Homo-oligomer: A and B are copies of this chain.
Amino acid sequence: MAEPTGRRERNKRERRRRLEDVALELFEREGFDKTTIEQIAGEAELAPRTFFSYFATKDDLVLADYSERLERILTELEQRPADERAWDALRASFAAVAADYESEHDRIRRRFMIMASNPSVFARSLHLQAGWEQALTERLAARLSALADDPTPRLLAATALAVMRASLQHWLTVPRAPALPALVQSGFDRLAGDLNTR
């Protein structure tokens, strides 16, 4: 009875969510290192072993939705006109994604705090970002019809991500910082324009 199909799906989603919620709270209250998988599974009313069919590592609990963000960026970039200058296309794409972040400030901030205070989580997040850099590099290379040994695409990707990262950190840690899209845009502008005036 009840739903026709998809109870399985629903249960899965619900359990995954429960693990995430419970874990985040424990991390904040007791600290990441002091919290064991056993505790997390316990509070989520699952067997410890089951945890690992939902998350590959403890770190992933904090970084669960990282991969969606990359998709967002790439999609956004895909939609920019082909004749737009690469840097401008990146600027627009990142600003658009930044606008998404804006509405999730608290959620993102919570995770950022845990991440920032835990080396292994932090390291893993950077590792995921490196994956983004690679993906971005490839798209840019295609877009620019760059030769395989042209460093330009990687340089652009790395720099754009650096702007995003610096902006994000600023946005999350400085008390009354401007809105994220504004920070991102001005970061891009600064690099393109008055880099040599400071």
Contact = CB atoms under 8 A, between A and B. Distances in A.
A163 B159 contact: yes
B86 A198 contact: yes
A69 interface: no
A169 B197 contact: no
A163 B152 contact: no
A174 interface: yes
Contacts of A163: 155, 158-159
A196 interface: yes
Contacts of A161: 162
A191 B155 contact: yes
Nearest to A119: B127
A165 B170 contact: no
Given A126-B130, A151-B187, A158-B166, A195 B192 contact: yes
Contacts of A151: 166-167, 170, 183, 186-187
A113 interface: no
Contacts of A144: 198
A190 interface: yes
Size band of the interface chain A makes with B: 35 or more
A43 B112 CA distance: 41
A127 B121 CA distance: 10
Given A85-B196, A85-B197, A190 B155 contact: yes
A162 B97 CA distance: 21
A197 B156 CA distance: 13
Interface in A140-186: 144, 148-149, 151-152, 154-159, 161-163, 165-167, 169-170, 174-175, 177, 183, 186
Interface of A: 85-88, 119-120, 122-124, 126-127, 129-130, 144, 148-149, 151-152, 154-159, 161-163, 165-167, 169-170, 174-175, 177, 183, 186-187, 190-193, 195-198
3 A-B pairs closest in CB distance: A158-B162, A126-B126, A123-B127
